[in-house]
Amino acid sequence: MNLQYVPTICPYCGCGCGMYLVLKDGRIVGEEPWKEHPVNEGTNCPKGKNAYKFLYSDDRLKKPLIRKNGTFREASWEEALSLVAEKLKGVPPESFGAIASGKGTNEEAYVLQKFARVIMGTNSIEYCARFCHSASVAGLLPTVGSGTMETSQLDIERADCILIAGVNIKETFPMIAKKVLRAKRKGATVIVIDPRRTVTVSYLGDLHLQLQAGTDVALINGMMSAILAEGLENKEFIETRTAGFDELRAALSATSPEQAADISGVAAEKIKEAAIAYAKAERGCILFDEGITQHTTGSDNVAALADLALLTGHIGKPGTGVNPMRGQINGEGAGDMGCVNVFYPGFKQVGQESAEFFQNAWGVEHLPTEPGLTYMDIIHKCKVIYLVGTNPVMAAPDSTNVKRALDNLDFFVVQDIFLTETAKHADVVLPAACWVEREGIHAWVDRRVQKINKVIDPPGEAMPDWWIICRVAEKMGYKDKFNYASAGEIFEEIRSCVPQYKGITYERLEKKAGGIQWPCPSEDHPGTPTMFVEAFGTPDKLGHFQAVEYKPPAEVPDADYPDVLITGRNLFHYHTGTMTRRTDTLNSEVPEAYAEINPEDATRLRISSGSRITLETRRGRIEVTAKVTGRVPQGSIFVPFHFSESCANILTNPALDPKSKMPEFKVCAVKEEV
């Protein structure tokens, strides 16, 4: 009998928790605490505790599938790869788009963007971060020079004032919630900005700024004007480390807590109280996510938070910062690897200079120099799409039109681990290995690079994503540029052309529980827990204030659609449910879709918890079970997007933030029918 405890990192969220997988004669039979891991110290959330179970699901994809006359038939790798290569050959750059995975390794993300750029000649390579933190990059690049999380997760418990904006951390980042709880027990003040009274509000929050959905800029401007009125801005920090303060002050003179109260519905006194607590703190820490970013004003929302942090000097020290929380295990990493229409690997801006750099690094010519299409444009404007490990039919806004667009493609390749709602529209489906079925690295939320080792074989004939892409490249005549024998070889190439990763090696990662946080410029560099300690990432190294004005959401309630729809998440499920709905312990906790409805609205509709209702927006209709709760305010409905039988994104608005092309998942107009 062979028993092994093998350490790995959870495949679910951005925290990056350690765990042991217990293997008996080569099969994973359990999960045990890895007590040395600094992020979670031997504790895990419900998803982590059950994380390995989906691996052995019966309906894992085991063989390539080719669509013929409306149904799929199994095919050999040879046939499927040849077909893909044949269909991709000669597709003009403007007609091709690639969509990478938020759960793929860095090595896999890197290979896919290289494929798109070298072989297909396009910068139309994107991934799910368009839907979560494109607004953060647009808001943080001009203000602080980098769109990543600034503090280490481990330092959050040192903060004495934590501002949680648009994120329900108790359900979506449980280990970060643990750190906030520790801070709170040491006396920290926790302020939560959320239109709902979530469990984060109830059990972590001291002060709840329960704003009307989509009024974040007004609220934050109100907070800043209160800080200025009290003279609590950090004058020394502003003087030495920022630019543009006068313009901000001038812009804010047109705002006030009272004005913010009118727009947001949060009492002026509360806005002042929150602002003053944050300003007066020793270490103020802003944590934000989709509730801030997923708006047509997402980038403005983020810029406003950045202004708030710069105004008070709560940035550049451990346990401070304006911190975007990328929720996927490789939400950070896939972006680092350049799966973005305007960035080559390492955040080199798409353009002549970057093209030349990578032409040199990759030994190729004529790399594309113009920005590619963004995610929704890829879906609607490309003729051929190669999509890896992501599920836009469930996760992109306006699902009905997404499906229509996918069905209109000339050719659609999906590489995934299950036949997802999106894969069902493909012409070719390629079975992928995932998580501990292959080796590779990810970068978790706080730029924490950790390694996943191969622990079991993938099912059937499934292969790692990087291998599949390389085989296609080979069939298209590019063997010499995609000649990797292992993930390790790909990582060596990444290290050579992505300076932030240069000092990270597989050996170093194997030896360090908790991994290494980039930037890590050399092999003796310990990594960088805190960003901006001495300088910002802007050209002049200063933080730049950017005054932003409140604009309402693209679609607000009206006579036809009188309520607000908010979409989001539940602790027991993850995103489109691909993994969690196949895990009995998790699915039995929350087996069906639900819509949170306020008791007053429920009374008006004469329904109670358990009633079936129909929700309709201008995009479509879904049926769902009502859950009557005071957690959601009167006039708002909350629907999680995990359930394909009641797909929330059939309802959502594809209107985009012009600065970041981020869809407005968090606000649209809805009506209920009973």
Partner 1 sequence: MKGDTYWAWSPDPAIVDRAESGGAVTSLLKFALESNQVDAVLAVKARDGNRYDGIPVLIDDPEEVAATAGALHCVSPNMARCLKEFLDGASDLRVAVTCKPCDAKAIIELVKRNQINLENVLLIGLNCTGTMRPVVAQRMMEEEFGVDPFDVASEDIEDDKLKIRLRDGSEKERDLAELEAKGLGRRENCRRCDINIPTMADIACGKWGAEGREATFIEVCSERGADFIDRAVEGGHIKVEQPSAEALESRRAQDRAATELARQWQERDFGEFQAMSLEERFDYWFGPSGQFSQCTKCFGCRDACPICYCKDCYLEADRGVVPRGEIPPDAMFHMIRAVHVMDSCVNCGQCEDACPVEIPLSRLIFMLNRQLAPIFKYEPGMDVSAAPPLRMVTEEELSLSGVELTL
Positions that interact with partner 1 (CB under 8 A): 1-3, 5, 7, 20, 22, 24, 29-30, 32-38, 40-46, 48-49, 170-171, 174-175, 177-178, 181-182, 199, 202-203, 510-511, 513, 570-572, 585, 588-591
H/E segment holding residue 276 = helix 268-280
Give the nearest distance from C-beta 591 to partner 1 in angstroms: 8
Pick 44 or 153: Cβ nearer partner 1? 44
Give the nearest distance from C-beta 10 to partner 1 in angstroms: 12
- E strands within 581-643? 594-597, 612-616, 621-628, 636-640
Using DSSP's 3-state secondary structure scheme, residue 584 falls into helix
Cα→Cα distances 623→133, 417, 626, 643, 647, Å: 30, 28, 10, 11, 9
Give the nearest distance from C-beta 5 to partner 1 in angstroms: 4
Location of structure tokens 């995990």 = 642
Pick 181 or 276: Cβ nearer partner 1? 181
The whole-angstrom separation of Cα 47 and Cα 10 is: 9
Nearest to 56 by CA among 418, 390, 420: 418
Give the nearest distance from C-beta 156 to partner 1 in angstroms: 15
Nearest to 302 by CA among 313, 315, 289: 289
Residues 117, 345 contacting (CB under 8 angstroms)? no
Give the nearest distance from C-beta 157 to partner 1 in angstroms: 11
Pick 123 or 646: Cβ nearer partner 1? 646
Pick 410 or 510: Cβ nearer partner 1? 510
Give the nearest distance from C-beta 177 to partner 1 in angstroms: 8
* 636: alpha, beta or left? (left if phi > 0; alpha if psi -120 to 50): beta
Cβ neighbours of 237 (radius 10 Å): 18
Nearest to 213 by CA among 638, 539, 660, 576: 638
Pick 29 or 254: Cβ nearer partner 1? 29
Pick 3 or 559: Cβ nearer partner 1? 3
The whole-angstrom separation of Cα 253 and Cα 127 is: 39
Give the nearest distance from C-beta 11 to partner 1 in angstroms: 16
Location of structure tokens 């310990």 = 526
Give the nearest distance from C-beta 93 to partner 1 in angstroms: 47
Pick 49 or 425: Cβ nearer partner 1? 49
Cα→Cα distances 313→252, 290, 539, Å: 18, 24, 19
Pick 46 or 635: Cβ nearer partner 1? 46
Given the DSSP bridges, would you call strands 343-344 and 348-349 parallel, antiparallel or unpaired?
A: antiparallel
Given the DSSP bridges, would you call strands 189-193 and 161-165 parallel, antiparallel or unpaired?
A: parallel
Give the nearest distance from C-beta 19 to partner 1 in angstroms: 11
Pick 21 or 548: Cβ nearer partner 1? 21
The whole-angstrom separation of Cα 42 and Cα 20 is: 9
Give the nearest distance from C-beta 160 to partner 1 in angstroms: 18
Pick 477 or 591: Cβ nearer partner 1? 591
Pick 7 or 93: Cβ nearer partner 1? 7
The whole-angstrom separation of Cα 281 and Cα 285 is: 9
Largest CA distance in the chain: 73
The whole-angstrom separation of Cα 119 and Cα 467 is: 16
Pick 67 or 197: Cβ nearer partner 1? 197
The whole-angstrom separation of Cα 458 and Cα 557 is: 48
The whole-angstrom separation of Cα 12 and Cα 46 is: 11
Give the nearest distance from C-beta 655 to partner 1 in angstroms: 32
Using DSSP's 3-state secondary structure scheme, residue 244 falls into coil
Give the nearest distance from C-beta 503 to partner 1 in angstroms: 19
* DSSP characters over 55-113: GG-TTB--S-EEEETTEEEE--HHHHHHHHHHHHTT--GGGEEEEE-SSS-HHHHHHHH
